[in-house]
């Protein structure tokens, strides 16, 4: 069983590796180019994120963990963006060396969907702008100095993210690993794709994916997954590691450890949108868990959980603590907390749209849940892939229904709604109407009861202007919270008595 996330301590982690800019251009494929048999992507928007070792930093920052980073950037716009973004994330960037002789690595991904196809956006092209060569004398001297300074700060773990851009040569790796281990600091490595891993010798663990492990071990794990223990043992012995953590996508994670105590952890993925960033997430969570004193299997399970969430997102995005906690509770059979903040709900709605999922929204007070509510919610869920329920705050209910309401506080109302199989998320709003919340979420389908005329539905114009639609559900006759409360107070039966005999 994965421990509660509160047991993750406020540790400090040193991240060392290749830094790069991840640029995403989003658009629609509307036609084929008249110039060549290639699709024309009509660009809609673009964004920049910190990639490579920088994504490990942002993963940790999203979980409230401080870090410092050692890496190399160019004296250019991309390098300035990386340093500023990581500084704003609370990461110490004093170890970032600015090179005068090479540009900052940049990966530009074009993601597009075919108009009216109902499919999510897919990556159609990646453009890499970089210079892959070993560090020169000046760069290496600066990096060696940064490593010495960083280890003097006694971090709780060192995470190495090797994208094979030239930063992590054997001399740098040897110095880093030996210096850290001599201070009893664990060193975790997400290795490069090539099979030349001699520089990782003596690390605490490496966490290669299926194809990296196949290349390094000579055992094809794509077709012979049953040989995973053999491959892990070979790497373990060859590199003098404590653990080899094989990340095998659909086959989960396999831990191979010194002494023969090995274990397989099944995958917990519920759907794959984009595999980018999964390796960074595994490294981040393994490092955080081990630095917090978790045992290796609990750390592997947490990493497995985080990677399963990561691959459901478009592009490389951090996983929030609440997402991990919800997944952890679901894994151990507990009811996850369904109540989301508005910020969390905006992120979920945006992610769902990127994956071409239909987001359905309905709202109400839901004070004393009854059969009419259930019918509305089940019918609403059938209109799409994700049902979001907006729920009035206690103060909002009181303004609308009077000083004696609500009967149940918002936490209880949200928990009951979240326990229904048809409800995916619950979000509270303080206003008297959900109009502003609807503007923020922009659902594809807005659902209300048939007692509302379509023209009177709050948020209708917003949803329809964004290309969505309104659906009205026939309600259970006579089912209302107000009527239920009145019958309870009057001592009136709410159903016919059971016949005697």
Residues with a catalytic annotation lie at: 280
Task: Give the separation between CA 411 and CA 294, rounded to whole angstroms.
Answer: 31
Are residues 296 and 255 in contact, defined by beta-carbon separation less than 8 angstroms?
yes
- Are 388 and 425 contacting, i.e. CB atoms less than 8 angstroms apart? yes
Tell me how far the alpha carbon of residue 248 is from its chain's centroid: 18
Q: Can you read off the two tokens belonging to residue 270?
A: 């519920």
Name beta bridge partners: 264. 254
CA dihedral (413, 416, 418, 420) positive or negative = negative
DSSP string, 132-158: -----HHHHHHHHHHHHHHHHT--SEE
Strand order in the sheet with 39-52: 39-52, 19-32, 105-114, 122-129
- Return the structure tokens found at 21: 């800019």
Other C-beta atoms within 10 Å of 2: how many? Answer: 22
Among candidate residues 365, 268, 263, 264, the one with its CA nearest the CA of residue 307: 268
Strand pairing partners for 123?
A: 111
The closest alpha carbon to 475, from 403, 378, 394, belongs to: 378
The C-alpha atoms of residue 110 and residue 40 are separated, in whole angstroms, by: 11
Beta-sheet strand order (sheet of 243-247): 91-99, 66-74, 12-17, 157-161, 187-190, 205-206, 243-247, 253-257, 263-265
Locate the DSSP E strands across 216-375: 243-247, 253-257, 263-265, 339-340, 359-364
Cα gap 377→382, rounded to integer Å: 9
Copy the structure tokens of residue 497. Answer: 């008595």
């Amino acid at each position: 069983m994965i421990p509660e996330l509160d047991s993750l301590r406020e540790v400090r982690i040193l991240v060392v590796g290749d830094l790069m800019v991840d640029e995403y251009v989003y658009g629609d494929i509307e036609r084929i180019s008249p110039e060549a048999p290639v699709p024309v992507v009509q660009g809609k928007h673009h964004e920049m994120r910190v990639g490579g070792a920088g994504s490990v930093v942002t993963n940790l920052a999203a979980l409230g963990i401080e870090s410092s980073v050692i890496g190399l950037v160019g004296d250019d716009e991309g390098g300035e963006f990386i340093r500023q973004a990581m500084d704003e994330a609370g990461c110490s960037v004093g170890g970032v060396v600015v090179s005068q002789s090479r540009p900052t690595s940049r990966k530009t991904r074009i993601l597009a969907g075919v108009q009216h196809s109902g499919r999510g956006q897919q990556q159609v092209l990646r453009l890499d702008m970089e210079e892959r060569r070993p560090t020169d004398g000046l760069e290496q001297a600066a990096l060696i100095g940064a490593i010495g300074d960083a280890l003097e700060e006694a971090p709780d773990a060192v995470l190495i993210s090797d994208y094979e851009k030239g930063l992590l040569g054997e001399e740098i790796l040897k110095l880093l690993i030996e210096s850290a281990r001599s201070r009893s600091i664990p060193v975790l490595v997400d290795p490069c794709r090539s099979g030349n891993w001699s520089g990782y010798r003596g690390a605490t663990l490496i966490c290669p994916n299926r194809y990296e492990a196949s290349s390094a071990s000579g055992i094809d794990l794509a077709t012979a997954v049953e040989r995973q223990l053999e491959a892990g043992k070979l790497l373990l012995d060859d590199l003098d590691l404590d653990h080899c953590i094989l990340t095998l996508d659909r086959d989960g994670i396999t831990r191979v450890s010194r002494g023969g105590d090995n274990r397989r952890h099944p995958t917990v993925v519920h759907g794959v949108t984009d595999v980018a960033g999964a390796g960074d997430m595994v490294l981040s969570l393994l490092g955080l868990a081990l630095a917090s004193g978790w045992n290796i299997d609990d750390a592997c399970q947490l990493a497995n959980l985080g990677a399963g969430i990561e691959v459901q997102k478009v592009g490389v995005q951090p996983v929030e603590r609440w997402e991990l906690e919800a997944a952890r509770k679901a894994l151990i059979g507990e009811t996850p907390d369904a109540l989301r903040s508005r910020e969390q709900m905006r992120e979920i709605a945006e992610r769902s749209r990127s994956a071409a999922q239909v987001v359905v929204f309905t709202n109400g007070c839901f004070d004393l849940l009854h059969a009419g509510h259930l019918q509305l919610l089940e019918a609403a869920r059938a209109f799409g892939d994700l049902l979001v329920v907006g729920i009035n705050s206690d103060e909002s209910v009181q303004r609308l229904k009077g000083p004696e309401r609500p009967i149940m506080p918002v936490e209880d109302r949200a928990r009951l709604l979240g326990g229904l199989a048809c409800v995916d998320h619950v979000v509270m709003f303080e206003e008297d109407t959900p109009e502003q919340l609807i503007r923020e979420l922009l659902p594809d389908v807005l659902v209300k009861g048939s007692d509302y005329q379509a023209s009177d539905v709050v948020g209708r114009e917003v949803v329809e202007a964004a290309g969505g639609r309104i659906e009205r559900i026939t309600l259970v006759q006579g089912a209302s919270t107000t009527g239920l409360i009145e019958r309870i107070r009057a001592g009136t039966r709410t159903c016919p008595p059971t016949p005697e005999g």
